[in-house]
Chain A
Amino acid sequence: MADGVSVQPWRPDRVRPGMAVAATLDLDAALMLRVRDGCSSSYAALLERHRNPVIHYVFRMVQNQAIAEELAQEVFLRVYRSRQKYEPSAKFTTWLFRIATNLAFNWLRDERSRKSQESLNDGLTAGATINLKDRRPSVESVLVHNVKLNAVREAIGSLPEKQRAAVLMHKYEEMEYSQIAKVLGCSDSAVKSLIFRAYESLREKLAQYG
């Protein structure tokens, strides 16, 4: 950033003039082009728009809050570091989620290898996932909700990495198959196949919660 690295809160009025730069591009791409030109408020705007979706996506992938935040920070750092090379050839969110997905895949791979070395058993694995806290007031509803949440987490966690990423992007980010294909670097038909198989597996595992 030309005027320092601290990201100031986003003020929409600050970014409007930049929209003329690329009227045909999506807002994110236009903001990113302004970031490339040294505009710190545009970076803050991108952060504000995508921080929670990225953190939540990475959290659902790795199922660990501290790691999710660490990886999400790395995502935005990489976005910032790559600003000079940025070309709006693809949708910004495709690029963003590709970075997030690759980081999550790498972490999951490292974690799997670490766990296999340490020979952790299933009990410890289940213990490591207890990071989410439900804030509902009723103890009974908390228990019911937590049982369901654990089932959902375990069902998602048991999916192969690519199926997991595809279904999370389809469900929570409402991405089209073609965009998911670009994020994962595979064909549209491969993504459909991943998603169909993932939902099939989830239907079997979550049938009792209907």
Chain B
Amino acid sequence: MATDECRLRTEEGVEALLEYCAGRLHAADAVVLESHLAGCAPCREFAAAQQTVWQSLDAWEPAIETQGFQSRLNARLAEDSTPAWKDRLRAWSSGISWKPAIPMAAAFALWAAISAPPRPEIPAQAEQVRPEAVERMLEDVDMLDQLKLNAQ
């Protein structure tokens, strides 16, 4: 970048001016920039305005009390690390290995099936009466009545 060219014309130039005003420009680059500023009024104005911004921002130091911050955070961490009963139950059950329980459950089911008493047979009278059968029977009775009437 030519030293006599106004730095405001390029992005690199503006960046260098901002860094210079922030006091973050490398010492050698700062010397070059200062010699440029001596002869460039727009860059001087820019730098002066930017330094005003910088000083104004420096004045804004928040006075925040952070004494209770850690204790409040500790309380939230403690709350956060105490799981709900559902999570605790899930955690407890996830710790249990279910593999040995499967053959045990199968053996129990087999034993229950073998040792259970036989089911009593349902007596014939207990069969349910179907509506179609009743209708059919009534029709048969009607038919017999008609046959009787015809015979007479």
Chain A residues engaging chain B, CB cutoff 8 angstroms: 1, 5-7, 47, 51-52, 55-56, 59-60, 65, 68-69, 72-73, 76-77, 80-81, 132-135, 145, 148-149, 151-153, 155-156, 170-172, 174, 192, 195-196, 199, 202-203, 206-207, 209-210
B62 and A7: CB pair below 8 A?
no
Could you give 25 example pairs across A and B, Cβ below 8 Å? A1-B81, A5-B80, A5-B81, A7-B74, A7-B77, A51-B70, A56-B64, A60-B60, A65-B62, A68-B64, A76-B73, A77-B77, A80-B80, A133-B63, A152-B56, A152-B60, A171-B54, A171-B57, A202-B53, A203-B52, A206-B53, A207-B49, A210-B48, A210-B49, A210-B51
Interface of B is mostly: helix
Interface of A is mostly: helix
A203 and B49: CB pair below 8 A?
yes
CB-CB nearest 8 A-B residue pairs? A210-B52, A5-B77, A203-B49, A202-B53, A5-B78, A5-B81, A206-B56, A152-B60
Cα of A72 to Cα of B72 in the assembled complex, Å: 11
A81 and B69: CB pair below 8 A?
no
Chain B residues engaging chain A, CB cutoff 8 angstroms: 11, 14-15, 18, 22, 24, 48-57, 59-60, 62-64, 66, 69-70, 72-74, 76-78, 80-81
B60 and A77: CB pair below 8 A?
no
CB of A172, distance to nearest CB on chain B (Å) = 8
Which of B14, B15, B56, B64 contacts A65, CB < 8 Å?
B64
Given contacts A7-B74, A77-B80, A196-B14, A209 and B52 within 8 Å (CB-CB):
yes
Cα of A206 to Cα of B51 in the assembled complex, Å: 10
Cα of A80 to Cα of B70 in the assembled complex, Å: 14
Cα of A1 to Cα of B73 in the assembled complex, Å: 14
